[in-house]
Structure 1
Amino acid sequence: MEHEVLNTTRGFMGNPNLTVIPPSADLRLNCPPQGAVCIYRAQVEYGLLLPPQPEFKEILNSFQLVPAQLSPNAIAYVYSFLKLLQAQGIPWTLTLLRSLFSWMVVPEYGGCLALRSKSRMVMFSGASSSHSDWRDYYFFVRGDLGIPLTPEVCPPEFTGDVKWAAG
């Protein structure tokens, strides 16, 4: 199991300012250790960088979101949007994101948020939607991430069985 965790977190494990912490009976999705945030394995697999790049930090801070509130596809779409802007030489602005996209709650993802086009046109494709167990595999990251931290109160819906980032 530890091997899978190292594979999942290899992109930021070398950063001396970040600490990866496994879940335990008293460390649930919305009950991370002090100063840490919950990260899903699938979010890292879909492109989440830690620490997040400035544009992603701006999104999280502006909407007061933590990564655990976003579906893996939302992560992929945000980073795809940023790469598309960069490739076209279009400067990033939060206003541009807000004018093109909106957040929608996905009930089958336990209320996590997905990103959708305001025009309802498909803007990105290729991200798998067959990751129904993605919420089961998570860990925590502590460090200077520059983003909101998960609240310390643990809602009852997040008290199921813990599965580490192995799969």
Structure 2
Amino acid sequence: MQHFTDYCFFEGHTSEEELAEFVAERVPPGFEARRPRQGEAINTFYEDELAFPISHFEVGLRLPLWPEIRQILKYYGVVPAQLNSNAIAMMVVFASYLRQERIEFNLTVFRKLFSYKATPDGVAYFGGSLIKVREIANKHHTWMTKIAFIKGDLCNITYSPQQKGEEVYRPPAVSGNDAELHKYFLHKDFEVAFLRRGLDALPPVLPGEGMLFPHLVELA
């Protein structure tokens, strides 16, 4: 058992009924979910399972974890329970919009749009973006309190306790197509309803299969 900080988060007060509803709606075959045991908290995880705030799935997180989401988590060395629901929504909105427009995922542009912030107690979030993801923060301000521990193929998502380099916190420079895509996204204003329209039907865009995106700039 490991703890990603010494700070004790709120324990997840998830009832049997809430867990059963969550499993029926959000947990696909091949994954198992359980309630936190006595003494377990959001900053507790085991080798083969992770703690997930249930509210993360209400803003678009899916199992199996999308490859775009895995790439972001692995780059920053965080697990889903460290990110608030607004941060999860930002990740999902960006990835799902690229899927809808058939554009290959771009971690550099994501980093430019959403600056990574970390607090001393181990919680992380994204800030500084001009993309608006509305109607989320107020609803999910208690995102830590309902937790499920999930076991399954989590693609070796682990917390990296090592000190992160400054490049993680510093937005990257962008040029060429990256700069054009970044410019396009600066003017987007996303409704949360976007997350509820056909999200599960959006396939990933494999490397080399994505469309070039100058047409998006023309439509902006």
Question: TM-score interval w.r.t. the shorter chain?
Answer: 0.7 to 0.9
User: For residues 11 and 150 of structure 1, do their structure 2 counterparts lie closer, same or farther at Cα, with a shift above 3 Å needed?
Assistant: farther
Distance 1:97 1:28 in 2: 30
The 8 Å contact of residues 36 and 150 in structure 1, kept in 2 or not, is answered as no
- Secondary structure of 2:62's counterpart equals coil
Could you tell me which of 122, 126, 145 is aligned with 2:135? 126
Distance 2:47 2:118 in 1: 27
Could you tell me which of 57, 66, 88 is aligned with 1:53? 66
Between Structure 1 and Structure 2, how many residues are aligned? 146
- Please give the TM-score of this superposition, normalised by the length of structure 2: 0.58
Distance 1:123 1:24 in 2: 37
Over aligned residue pairs, what C-alpha RMSD do you find? 2.3
Is residue 72 from structure 1 mapped to residue 85 from structure 2 by the alignment?
yes
Structure 2: state its 5+ residue gaps.
Answer: 1-14, 161-220
Distance 1:43 1:29 in 2: 13
Could you tell me which of 152, 156, 175 is aligned with 1:143? 152
Is residue 4 from structure 1 mapped to residue 18 from structure 2 by the alignment?
yes
Q: For 1:2-42, what per-residue CA distance to the aligned partner results, in whole angstroms no more than 9, with x for missing partners?
A: 222122233443312x1212101243222234411110011
- Secondary structure of 2:144's counterpart equals helix
Distance 1:140 1:81 in 2: 26
Aligned to 1:112: 123
User: For residues 103 and 133 of structure 1, do their structure 2 counterparts lie closer, same or farther at Cα, with a shift above 3 Å needed?
Assistant: same
Q: Which has the higher contact order (CA 8 A, sep 6+)?
A: 1
- In the TM superposition, residue 90 of structure 1 has moved relative to its aligned partner by 2.7
User: For residues 147 and 71 of structure 1, do their structure 2 counterparts lie closer, same or farther at Cα, with a shift above 3 Å needed?
Assistant: farther
The 8 Å contact of residues 37 and 150 in structure 1, kept in 2 or not, is answered as no
| Structure index of larger Rg | 2
Q: For 1:125-151, what per-residue CA distance to the aligned partner results, in whole angstroms no more than 9, with x for missing partners?
A: 232424332211112111221042358
Distance 1:112 1:45 in 2: 19
User: Identity of aligned pairs, percent?
Assistant: 27
- Please give the TM-score of this superposition, normalised by the length of structure 1: 0.75
- In the TM superposition, residue 83 of structure 1 has moved relative to its aligned partner by 1.8
Distance 1:141 1:127 in 2: 23
Structure 2 letter corresponding to 1:129:
N
User: For residues 88 and 123 of structure 1, do their structure 2 counterparts lie closer, same or farther at Cα, with a shift above 3 Å needed?
Assistant: farther
- In the TM superposition, residue 93 of structure 1 has moved relative to its aligned partner by 1.6
Structure 2 letter corresponding to 1:135:
M
Aligned to 2:27: 13
- Secondary structure of 1:104's counterpart equals strand
